[in-house]
Structure 1
Amino acid sequence: MQPIDVLIVDDSVFMRRIISDLISEDTGFRVVGTAKNGREAIEMVKRLKPHVMTLDVEMPEMNGLEALRIIMKENPLPVIMLSSLTQEGASETIKALELGAVDFIGKPSGSISLDLHKVKESLLEKLHIAAGTNVSKLPKPFVAPAAPLKKVPVPAVVPPKMVERLQAESNTTFDHLVAIGTSTGGPRALHEVLSGIPGSFPAPVVIVQHMPPNFTKSLSQRLNTISGLHVVEAENGMVLESGMAYVAPGGYHMTIARNGTSSYKVHLSQEDPRAGHRPSVDVMFESLLPLKELKRHIVLMTGMGSDGAKGMLALKQAGALTTIAESEETCIVYGMPRAAVELKCVTHVLPQQEIARQLIHSVNTKI
């Protein structure tokens, strides 16, 4: 069996050597080259035709984002980003994932750190997953206006206090709820789906994306700029509102519970991970089982493993109206959706660019 050819891109000589040594410990990989900036990376991709690449973000001459944009246009291949575990690093990583990077590895203590040995197992696992993906098949991400309109202005003739009361009542009173679970490849898929949902959407959207702390906050901030929905990182006790999307924070399970008789709220906990995940899609889905008065619409998108499949099955058996699995053709990793399809609990199998349209149709259909 032929080894998987890897190109390593990092401006630090020390880091290039460390990453090369880590990857070379797995005989399934072969490091075919190293580059010190994005410009070199573009040329080496053309010349060496590697199967997969690791790519730093901050580099001289041309940074990782600029190089990634060109590579994904001219010679697309699976890319794993190397990112600092800072708020700025998280923001740049989210942009890279939208541009087509498969996944990322966090640098524990900056660009020069022996701590990278601690993430060896994760690095090798993600490289194996990335090497098996076909990034050239993915749809181009939707490019939204710089400042999407969030809310329709209320006429000035209505007394302000009455407007606030009516808005609060209408926003927290709804009949539908959308729940989405995703993992590897999820930021790009969420970008595609949420950019297609208008701010007038008459339901809240709750989301679990497998991701560490910091990154979920940056993800929610980024999604908020491209969607008509208000997208936020969820906080404990938040009351759900229609036209809003809530992203579970990294490191916390997110569940939804009744808040009195007429509204619903977010509950966050740091209970043990479920099947290695916190947040867990299954944990969130299972919390929706008692909420039978709501018309529930459940979505599973790209991701490794089977998190969410059992929860979707339970919700389907409990009367969920819509259960959507992303189709293999647009998944970075066809794991979580495949598991749901195999459990025969899916009403629609759709490419990611059709999921928003189906959700709008399902929520607006009179039943």
Structure 2
Amino acid sequence: MERIKVLVVDDSAFMRKLITDILESDQNIEVVGTSRNGLDAIEKVKKLRPNVITLDIEMPIMDGIQALQNIMNDNPTPIIMLSSTTKLGAENTILAMHYGAIDFVTKPSGSISLDLEKVKDDLIQKVKSASKANIQNLRYPSETKQLLVPERPQASFKVEIRRMSKWSQGRNKLICIGISTGGPRALQKLLAGFPENLEAPILIVQHMPAGFTKSLANRLNTLSKIHVKEAEEGEVIQKGTAYIAPGDFHLQVKQLGTNIVVQLNQAPPLNGHRPSVDIMFQSISQLPNYDKIAVIMTGMGSDGAQGLIELKKKGTVKAIAESENSCIVFGMPKAAIATNLVDEVEDLEKISQAIMKYLP
């Protein structure tokens, strides 16, 4: 098996050495070069053609955001950002995801993290996942994607469009979305497609650690007609609002009278995830007075597939999976499709339309 070639970019010589040692502790990864700033990184990318880049945000001469934009424009490469958990660090990380970074890892104790070993497994796994990403779908801006990406035939997933005979336009509707790698940009595209008077609430699990989901929600709120916020314990969900599970908290719901109330908890991760799409879907399956529209989008792994099975056992549910054609990583949608319970497979730009046809 060919090793994954990585370029490590950080202004600290100590951090470059530490990141290199961590990555090369895995026999499947080879660090082919290092850079101390964004300008040098751009040149190294051209010469070394790495499979993945780890990129610090705060650097002299050219910072990580500027370097990211340049690399994604000229030499698109899967990029993992190394980020601080400060408010500014979180905002810059979400901005980096908007410009095409595939994922990020948080430095445990700031820009010089002597304890980076704490995130060793996470960093290695994300580099491996990034190496499998659909690089064509990382190009920015997304509006020009049709000029850059040749249309690929849909993979051999045949989904029978199920009849809508049991679907009542008059019943309350609830939209629930599970998403992971490549999610922030995909969510921006999806939520921008909804009208201000959306006749349903939206619950979202985006795999993301604590400290980042609020910045994500705030950014999406400025770019959407609907209201987007980080979910809060005990709040009553409202139509026309999207609620994003806080990082490191499971998102569940409970019916109190005619209201649906948010419940957050820090029960153990499920299959490595907290928040977990499966746990959210299982909780939503307990709501008898709502028809549900379940959407599973880009992401590594299979989170959401088991929850979809639980949803489909109870009540009326329409399930939509993002197509391989538009996914950054076709893991979670593929697992959902494999349950044979998905009603439609759609490219990202068509998912909001697919949802809207099920609403009043």
Same fold (TM over 0.5): yes
The answer to whether residue 275 in structure 2 is matched with residue 285 in structure 1 is no
Distance between the aligned counterparts of 2:263 and 2:234, measured in 1? 6
| Among candidates 261, 264, 270, match of residue 266 of structure 2 | 270
**SS of 1:330 mapped into structure 2:** coil
Q: After superposition, where does 1:74-89 map in structure 2 within 5 Å?
A: 74-89=74-89
Other-structure match for 1:11: 11
Aligned equivalent of 2:126: 126
Count of aligned pairs: 334
Cross-structure match for 1:329 = 325
Q: Residue in 1 aligned with 2:167?
A: none
Residue number among 299, 314, 326 corresponding to 1:303 in the alignment: 299
Match of 1:355 in 2: 351
Give the match for residue 115 of structure 1: 115
Q: Is the contact made by 1:224 and 1:232 (CA closer than 8 Å) also made in structure 2?
A: yes
Contact 2:76 2:138 in 1 (8 A): no
Structure 2 counterpart of 1:166:
none
State the Cα distance separating 1:306 from its structure 2 match.
1.4
Deviation for aligned residue 1:292: 2.8
CA deviation vs aligned residue, 1:323-366 (integer Å, no higher than 9, x gap): 011111222222211111111010011121111111112213xx
Q: Which residue is 2:59 aligned to?
A: 59
Higher mean C-alpha displacement, 279-288 vs 328-337: 328-337
Matched-pair contact (CA < 8 Å) for 2:295–2:321: yes
The runs of 5 or more residues in structure 2 that have no matched partner are: 144-169
Distance (whole Å) between structure 1 residues aligned to residue 106 and residue 54 of structure 2? 12
Q: CA deviation at 1:296?
A: 0.8
CA distance in 2, matches of 1:74, 1:136: 12
Question: For the residues of structure 2 that align with 1:54 and 1:112, how far apart are their CA atoms?
Answer: 15
Show CA shifts across 1:248-303 (max 9, x none): 1112111112121x221111112222222221111111112232321210001112
1:188 and 1:320 map into 2 onto residues whose CA distance is 29
Does the alignment pair 1:243 with 2:240? yes
Report deviation, 1:102.
1.2
Matched residue of 2:123: which SS?
A: helix
The CA RMSD measured in Å over matched residues stands at 1.7
TM-score (norm 2): 0.89
The superposition leaves residues 126-181 of structure 1 with CA deviations (integer Å, 9 ceiling, x where unpaired) of 111111112223474568xxxxxxxxxxxxxxxxxxxxxxxxxxxxx971110001
> Aligned residue for 2:313?
317
The answer to whether structure 1 residue 104 and structure 2 residue 104 are counterparts is yes
SS at match of 1:80: strand
8 Å contact from structure 2 (residues 102, 138) kept in 1: no
The higher radius of gyration belongs to 1
Q: 2:250 aligns with which of 230, 248, 253?
A: 253
Helix, strand or coil for the counterpart of 1:177? Answer: strand
Partner SS state of residue 53, structure 1 = strand
- What TM-score does the superposition give when structure 1 sets the normalisation length? 0.87
- 1:191-220 Cα offsets, whole Å, 9 max, x none, are 111111121111110001111111111111
Separation in 2, partners of 1:4, 1:291: 45
User: Is the alpha carbon distance of 1:315 and 1:238 closer, same or farther for their aligned partners in structure 2, counting shifts above 3 Å?
Assistant: same
Aligned ranges 1:120-269 → 2 under 5 Å: 120-138=120-138, 140=140, 175-260=172-257, 262-269=258-265
- 8 Å CA contact retained: 1:312, 1:340: yes
Alpha-carbon distance in structure 2 between the residues aligned to 1:351 and 1:187: 16
Percentage of matched positions with identical amino acids: 51
Q: Is the 8 A contact 1:174 1:242 kept in 2?
A: no
Once residues 132 and 199 of structure 1 are traced to their aligned partners in structure 2, the CA distance between those partners, rounded to angstroms, is 36
Contiguous gaps of at least 5 residues in structure 1: 144-172
Q: What's the CA shift for 1:240?
A: 0.9
On the 8 A contact 2:79/2:102 being kept in 1, the answer is yes
